[in-house]
Structure 1
Amino acid sequence: MGWSCRKDKMVLRSCWKSRHKNSSGPAPCWTRPRLAALLWLCVTQFVCGSGAEGETNNVIQKDAEFDVTYNDTVTSENQTIYAFNHTVSRNKTEGVRVFVDVLSQGFESPILFVVRQKQAVVSFQVPLILRGLYQRKYPYSHVGRTLCQPPTRAASETQYFFVDVSTLSSLGTNYQLRVSRVESFTLQTDKKFSFTASPSQPQYFKYVFPDGVDTVIVKVNSEMTFPCSVMSIQDIQCPVYDLDNNVAFIGMYQTMTKKGAITVQRKDFPSNSFYVVVVVKTEDEACGGPLRFYPLRPDELIDAGNRSKFIDVIVTPAINSEVYVMGMLFCLGIFLSFYLLTLLMTCLENNSEAITDSATSTDNNYGYVGMNKHGQIFLLAYHCHFAQSLDSVGRSRQESLSSVEEDDYDTLDDITSDKNIVRTKKFLCVSDLSRKDKRILSKKYQIYFWNIATIAVFYALPVVQLVITYQTVVNVTGNQDICFYNFLCAHPLGALSAFNNILSNLGYVLLGLLFLLIVLKRDIVHNRALVRNDLNALECGIPKHFGLYYAMGTALMMEGLLSACYHVCPNYTNFQFDTSFMYMIAGLCMLKLYQKRHPDINASAYTAYACLAGVIFFSVLGVVFGKGNTVFWIIFSVIHILSTMLLSTQLYYMGRWRLDAGILRRIVYVIYTDCIRQCSGPMYIDRMVLLVMGNIVNWSLAAYGLIERPNDFASYLLAIAICNLLLYFAFYIIMKLRSGERIQCLALVCILFTAVVWGFALYFFFQGLSTWQKTPAESREHNRDCILLSFFDDHDIWHFLSSIAMFGSFLVLLTMDDDLDTVQRDKILAF
């Protein structure tokens, strides 16, 4: 029936008076839904205050029913109120959805729909105008909204809600209204539920934690890549933020194309329940889709087309505390077993040395022949001193080097001209390149360790602070697009979102520490041999300098720490944390290989770390500016090629050349004399083969980078370092075998074991469970479930295997020349 504003005032006045006169309780009219509707109308719509005294505005109230379609017309002269009531049970939750269709095409004066509930008010206009990038406008004439469900303490109660329909248009606008119950409003554990959503028809459902379950994973899947959508987890409250422009206001949320997953913990939701909200975005740019055209006019409305998306949602229980304990014990067990194996081998070695020392021996000019306790005669060891001249024993040595620096004076017995003669011989031996005092060289190489320890401290502290800030931002804002996890296997612990990815880096730290202990043992044994003037230690084998080994072990430990920091919140802005010490490790390994045969002319720590700092600098520039930047790639390729050529010259001439103003004149002279005047081959064939192959590889990598311009510049730079390391290692092994040297059993086992482990490690690395080179939604398409103990994923296994492989690689470098420990240095070729 129709109501005027004057009559509304009279009804309200009479009810108010009767309410005060009746002290025992409120008047009957005061509790009617009709009176509440009139009160809302007069207060919020300002009908009584804005119109003239004789002006009337018709208000029509209808008792409405569920699942009935109402076809009506609304103008500025009338307003319709639909009154609904339904029974709410404490033990059963039902959703209520309101569907609205506007049949007219006029967008100038939309229809306003206001839904008033017990504890919330939801309002929206139809056509619904949603904005995209650059404020582009998309109108939707069909709108569907789910009403939030206020909790009830009673076993059962009747609740009322009203749908007010109004407009400012003087012309009649036709619309359809339908209110329906959502029977399957509560999600069930391990039961898939399917539905359809669109930008104007978002969906959300309720989930209640069952008894005994503290953590669940909400998984959302779709066969359709686009349209882009957003999944949100929100607490049970009104209103529910279920539109593209407000879904990020509260709770946790993430964009998705085909896959989405969020781990939800009971402790974050006091009501032991939450809403799963799915919103389809108006545009696809957030998910890596094509950029829509820019409107010609600022107020132009763009047809959004059909953006409906069929989606499946399933809620599964996450792992319990027992799985966490098993995962941690498994991780510790793997790496502590290496400590146990090392301890066992050390005990066997010490036992063998004890037997040797207790056996009676006869000294002769060729070795020691001993007899053990069973009377068996055996050859104990050969020493190289029989080939040494007595003059070498009396070589003068400095007693104190506390104030001596290598650069203060030349420590060779001969002057600089003799260096040029020695180092340009056709066949060089290790004795030719290990003429400097070993204690000065040891001090020089110890600087590698102290420098990298200093770098580690100053590098790691800001990194730790930054990733803590990242994790805090994720926890506070709920934005799951900041970090690129494997969300299907990301197990939280405390404030950490993916504890398993952090735990799996423990191997780098433990095995790096174990390698330091192994090197320390060798260092102590070698120093004891020097103290007792053991001629094997003084004059035989590859010169023992352990500073680079200490630096390698420290770099491996720091790689574990920084990789763990990176995996606190992996993204493109902090990926260099994960790769910086990988460059360090590759560079240190190449330096160690070169130092074995060239200890006198190896790079100093300052030069080496300065070059590595330049590599890291370009890594940061490549991540920030390298994507699609032609100028950057041209500059980097030129620097890469020039650096390769300069290093090749340095290696070929053993450092006996100068980079000055006359370098071009000397190059032209060499070309003229060696290539034009007389065609002569290179003097150092082996070195030339290595350098030619190295230049081919590096020039090819530079050309690939310039042509393809890979998005992951940090990995591309790491690939350059690894390729050069593998090339030089292969050259070293080949030349070692060509020189008649052999590889002992322990080193051969380490090589084979390391090669196999590297193969498996690279397989898991290339599984690619996430990638920050794409959008967060596209990255989640690669997410997969855990494959080991329901706790570790493919990338965790990569961490396990790569740490073992790096440890094995270090052992190869440490033991590969053990066969030369009794060979005179003037019999060991330098290559």
Structure 2
Amino acid sequence: MGSAVLTIGICQGFFLFLILAQLTRATTRPTDMKPAQFGKYYTGSINRNIEEVYSFNYTSKPGKVDALRVFVRSDSNDLQFPVLFVVRQQKGVLSWQVPLAFRGYYQRTYTYQDVSRTLCPTIPDGQTPTSEQFMYIDIASMAPSSVQYELVVKRLTDFELQTDVPLNFSASPSQPQYFLYSFPEGVNSVVIKVKSAETFPCTVVSVQDITCPVYDLDHNVEFNGVYQSMTKKAAITIQRKDFPKGQFYTVFVIKPEDYACGGSIPVSNIGTGNHTRNLKRVKHIEVTITPSINNSVYIHGTLLCLLFFLIFYLGAFLVFFIHHLKLQKKVLSSSRSSDDGEGMVAGSHPITTRTPEGSSYGAIDESRQRKGKPLPPIPRPRVYSDSSVDEESDFDGIPEMEGDKNVIQAKTILYVSDLSIKDRRTISKKYKIYFWNIITIAVFYALPVIQLVITYQTVVNVTGNQDICYYNFLCAHPLGVLSAFNNIMSNLGHVLLGFLFLLIVLHRDLHHRSLLEANDVYALELGIPKHFGLFYTMGIALIMEGVLSACYHVCPNYSNFQFDTSFMYMIAGLCMLKLYQTRHPDINASAYAAYASFALVIFLAVLGVVFGKDNWWFWVIFSIIHVVGSLALSTHIYYMGRFKIDFGIFRRIFQILYTDCVQQCSRPMYMDRMILLIVGNVINWFFAIFGLVYRPRDFASYLLGIFICNLLLYLAFYIIMKLRSSEKLLPLPLFCILATAGVWAAALYFFFQNLSSWEESPAQSREKNRECILMHFFDDHDIWHFLSATAMFFSFLVLLTLDDDLDDVRRDKIPVF
């Protein structure tokens, strides 16, 4: 009985085992491990019940990198049941699905049936012995019906990039590429140069450390390393110190759409719903890695920059020394003449009688002589107040002066003596306000700018996103944390020449003060009234232009363009104010009104960049403001400040035009000024119409062009009128004028080379990048910095020395124009 029960239990257990085995077999996919070979095509079909595994093995050799690339294809286009490919290697797993799907900026899904991926290779260290490597590829799908697939695995023979050897290849969104590069001995920095004949499709070039996995798909390529977008050109400078192993991967990923590179979605690429048809987006690329410059080039470039601008200091010292020798020689000859004629002069001078105020009657005061020559009679007495004036509202010390100036300024022919009635010290204080105000503006403007650009540079270094900054990447030499040291270094000229100009102005100012302290009447009564406040302001503005331009070039982009242009507007405006102040010292604009106008200009520049590209209404409003402002300012200039700029100015203009041009056609009272203002208004109206019709993309440069053209027009008018008035140009201002014209012409040539443009996408901007042209360190824009600083320095010298020939001319003989 017991044996029977045992037999029955054994039979039941056996049948239970058979049932469980059958059930397990029915719910498990049959797996067929297939040995495979490199370079051989394999095809098959799979479904939810069938899974296939391919086994590859190879021998790795010391010092050799074995890179494998897997090519797969499937006829399935069903995202619900994709074919899954899983590659298992010794140190990692790589998987993807077919169809491979990408989601673009326009929220469309792009699918691809052909996929190829490079497997992360094992990088030998040179000491690893020969070893056997295994790799398995699992192919599976949950599709209810059979799905066909194709598979081939190849060993790459051109996986390692060689120095100065170009490599040509193709890539697509589903078939990214990456290659290995090893730094040669003695090379600490290289430049990866990439180019393509096709503008699109958009590409991302990434440089990553040799770790697995390699991020080589559109959705993860930005997770690691340094990267930038590309259309036709790309260049990335890589330093050895950033890669401890001395090796890196260069990854090329094709974007599924071109928005990131400034393109739009093609009409042929639009499908129904959220999916697109499977279009080939293949880009043919050439990559070359070349050694970058070494430390000696940095040193030579820096020394060249310093030497170039120190030459100006040497030239200024030589001019000062020669001028000092001539002055000493002239003083010596004058003293000899005085000694020879001492008895005659003493006998001809009666006894001098002075009033308590210091006036002399019936005599020639010896203090009114200069260098042995008597001063010509002064046509009118001057009144100098001894009280100090602290505010601009207290400028006029004579109550009747405000009523008299309308009579004086309405004269047909005006002279400098008519417009230099106010107290000299009061006017000097008025122009010193320009200097102290620009110091304040510079401090409050520069500090947040420096903080912001440091943040920009930190973000670039941390994220590796080189699309943030618009460099000329083919000539951007990093140093420390700075990505383009050469663009920053080239702005040193503005600082050095600005400081030199301040020294020159200080020397003239001290010399003039010494003459005033000695009661030299020639300094008090002859020549153009000398006020140096605006000159000091121009020197500070030139220095700040260099500082802020350097800050802008730390990371030039759409958000900080105004750093590079703000002080350029101010420099142009200050030069025009100085030129006008030369012969209109009493009626020039106040510092507060001038800086308020500069602020309005900078505000318009920001609005123009933000809204001026596609909004026609902005251009209409700006053109109206431009034309109306030109008319109002022209009227103010024509009537020597007697027409105040307020809301009633246009009514007064209409009344005068009606009276002078309609009721009676009379000749303009101030013909020269009328010609200048007509030409100036025609040019400004042309600018307004041009902007309204063409709407230039670079609004900042367009606005700067308006300022520069008006400044050049006024300077040309001033020089022509000076020559018409039988005045002459001394050798020094003549040399400065010629140098200014020549240097500005050369500078503008390099300015218009356009090596980058933040009005476009970063990839489109890089199409304009070019190689360095000076010492392999400076590009065209750096030369623009050198030449523009030099040209502005010479321009300032023109304004400083233009009227030196009038130092011995009475002010009632110097015409106003």
The 2-side partners of 1:449 and 1:702 are apart by 32
- Other-structure match for 1:654: 640
How far did residue 665 of structure 1 move?
Answer: 5.1
**Which position in structure 1 is the counterpart of 2:535?**
549
Q: For residues 224-278 of structure 1, give each alpha carbon's deviation from its aligned partner in whole angstroms, at most 9, with x where no partner exists.
A: 1111111000000111111111111110111111110000011111111000001
Amino acid at match of 1:398: S
> 2:77 aligned with 1:85, yes or no?
no
Q: Partner residue of 1:247?
A: 221
Structure 1 partner of 2:84: 112
Answer yes or no: is 1:168 the counterpart of 2:142. yes
**TM norm structure 1:** 0.89
Q: Which amino acid aligns with 1:272?
A: G
Pair 1:759–1:296, CA change in 2 (3 A) = closer
Contact residue 370 and residue 520 of structure 2 kept, 8 A: no
| Aligned pairs (5 A) from 1:592-611 | 592-611=578-597
**What displacement does 1:213 show?**
0.6
Structure 2 residue 350 is matched with structure 1 residue 361: no
Q: Any conservation in 2 of the 1:384–1:535 contact (CA below 8 Å)? A: no
Is 1:772 paired with 2:755?
Answer: no
Task: Compare 284-293 and 545-554 and name the one that shifted more.
Answer: 284-293
Identify the match of residue 758 of structure 1 among 715, 736, 744.
Answer: 744
Secondary structure of the residue aligned to 2:249 is strand
1:812 Cα offset (Å):
0.5
Give distance in 1, aligned partners of 2:510 and 2:374: 22
**How far does residue 824 in structure 1 lie from its aligned partner after superposition?**
0.5
Note if 1:462 corresponds to 2:435. Answer: no
Deviation at 1:345, TM superposition (A): 1.8
Within 2, Cα distance between the matches of 1:135 and 1:804?
A: 52
Indicate whether 1:137 and 2:124 are aligned: no
CA–CA distance in structure 2, aligned partners of residues 661 and 781 of structure 1: 49
Q: Give distance in 1, aligned partners of 2:787 and 2:652.
A: 49
Q: Which moved more, 1:709-718 or 1:666-675?
A: 666-675
Contact 1:136 1:295 in 2 (8 A): no
Relative distance call for 1:298 and 1:328 in structure 2 (3 A) is same
Is 715-724 or 453-462 further displaced after alignment? Answer: 715-724
- Superposition map of 1:167-246 within 5 A: 167-246=141-220
Cα distance in structure 2, aligned partners of 1:88 and 1:76: 36
Query: Higher mean Cα deviation, 218-227 or 597-606?
Result: 218-227
1:69 matched to 2:56? The reply is: no
Measured in 2, the distance between the counterparts of 1:664 and 1:229 equals 57
Q: Does 1:825 align with 2:811?
A: yes
Query: Does residue 542 of structure 2 align to residue 567 of structure 1?
Result: no
Q: Out of 283, 297, 305, which is 1:323 matched to?
A: 297
SS at structure 2 position matched to 1:134: coil
Cα offset, 1:364, TM superposition: 11
Find out whether 1:386 has 2:375 as its counterpart.
yes
**Partner Cα separation in structure 1 for residue 248 and residue 341 of structure 2:** 84
Contact 1:764 1:798 in 2 (8 A): yes
Report whether the alignment pairs 1:444 with 2:418. Answer: no
> Counterpart of 1:534 in structure 2: which amino acid?
D
Query: Does residue 615 of structure 2 align to residue 629 of structure 1?
Result: yes
Structure 2 distance, partners of 1:452, 1:752, is 30
Compared CA separation, residues 62 and 649, structure 1 to 2 (3 A): same
* Shift of residue 291, structure 1, vs aligned partner: 2.7
SS across alignment from 1:231: strand
Q: 1:389 to 1:597 in 2, by over 3 A?
A: closer
Aligned to 2:451, the other structure's residue is in SS state helix
The letter of the residue matching 1:574 is N
How far apart, CA to CA, are the structure 2 residues paired with 1:248 and 1:128? 19
Aligned-partner Cα distance in 2 for 1:561–1:664:
41
Alignment of 1:263-342 (within 5 A): 263-292=237-266, 300-342=274-316
- The residue identity in structure 2 corresponding to 1:94 is D
1:453 paired residue number = 439
**Residue 398 of structure 1 corresponds to which residue in structure 2?**
385
* CA distance 1:299–1:553, change in 2 (3 Å): same
Rate the CA distance shift 1:387–1:479 in 2: closer, same or farther, 3 A.
Answer: same
What SS does structure 2 have at the residue aligned with 1:133? coil
8 A contact 2:168–2:284 mirrored in 1: yes
Farther-moved stretch of structure 1 (454-463 vs 656-665): 656-665
The offset of 1:146, in angstroms, is: 0.2
Look up the SS of the partner of 2:222 in the other structure. Answer: coil
Do the aligned residues in 2 keep the contact of 1:412 with 1:435 (CA within 8 Å)?
A: no
Aligned-partner Cα distance in 1 for 2:763–2:644: 54
RMSD: 2.3
The yes-or-no answer on 1:723 pairing with 2:709 is yes
Unaligned stretches of 5+ residues in structure 2: 1-19, 345-368
- CA deviations on 1:493-546 (whole Å, 9 max, x unpaired) are 000000000000000000000000000000000000111111221111110000
TM-fit CA distance, 1:663: 4.7
* Deviation for aligned residue 1:588: 0.2
Aligned to 2:359: none
- Structure 1 135/827 Cα, relative in aligned 2: closer, same or farther at 3 Å? same
For 2:364, the equivalent position in structure 1 comes to none
Shifted more, 340-349 versus 228-237: the winner is 340-349
| Matched letter for residue 397 of structure 1 | Y
Give, in whole Å, the separation in 1 of the partners of 2:165 and 2:100. 33
CA distance in 1 between partners of 2:341 and 2:246 (Å): 83
Instruction: Determine the C-alpha separation between the residues in 1 that align with 2:179 and 2:573.
Output: 55
Whole-Å separation in 1 of the counterparts to 2:370 and 2:752: 48
Q: State the 1:60 CA deviation.
A: 1.2
State how far apart, in whole Å, the 2-side matches of 1:765 and 1:730 are: 23
Match of 1:579 in 2: 565
Mean alpha-carbon deviation: is it higher for 80-89 or for 487-496?
Answer: 80-89
Output one character per residue of 1:656-695: Cα deviation in whole Å (capped at 9) or x when no partner: 1245676555444323321222211211101111111111
Over 3 Å counting, the alpha-carbon distance change for 1:526 and 1:568 in structure 2 is same
Aligned-residue sequence identity (percent) comes to: 58
Return the alpha-carbon distance in structure 1 between the equivalents of residues 749 and 798 of structure 2.
22
Change (3 A) 1:665 1:143: closer
User: SS state of the match for residue 27, structure 2?
Assistant: coil
Contact 2:486 2:777 (8 Å CA) reproduced: yes
- The partner residue of 2:625 within 639, 642, 647 is 639
Mark the CA change 1:765 to 1:658 in structure 2 (over 3 Å): closer, same or farther.
closer
2:407 is matched with which residue: 421, 425, 431? 421
Q: What secondary structure sits across from 2:754 in the alignment? A: coil
Q: CA deviation at 1:344?
A: 1.8
Structure-2 separation of matches of 1:567 and 1:356: 50
Task: Give secondary structure in 2 for the equivalent of 1:239.
Answer: coil
Distance in 2, Cα, partners of 1:201 & 1:295: 19
Distance 1:577 1:342, change over 3 A: same
> Does 2:677 match 1:691?
yes
Following the alignment from structure 2 to structure 1, what is the Cα–Cα distance between the partners of residues 305 and 278? 51
Deviations 1:622-653 (A, max 9, x none): 11222211221111111111111110110011
Distance 1:69 1:464, change over 3 A: same
Scaled by the length of structure 2, what TM-score is found? 0.91
**Kept in 2: contact 1:384–1:540 (CA 8 A):** no
- Distance across 2 between alignment mates of 1:503 and 1:285: 34
Alignment deviations for residues 572-609 of structure 1 (CA, whole Å, 9 cap, x no partner): 11111000000000000000000000000000111100
Q: Tell me, what secondary structure is at the counterpart of 1:466?
A: helix
What's 1:256 paired with? 230
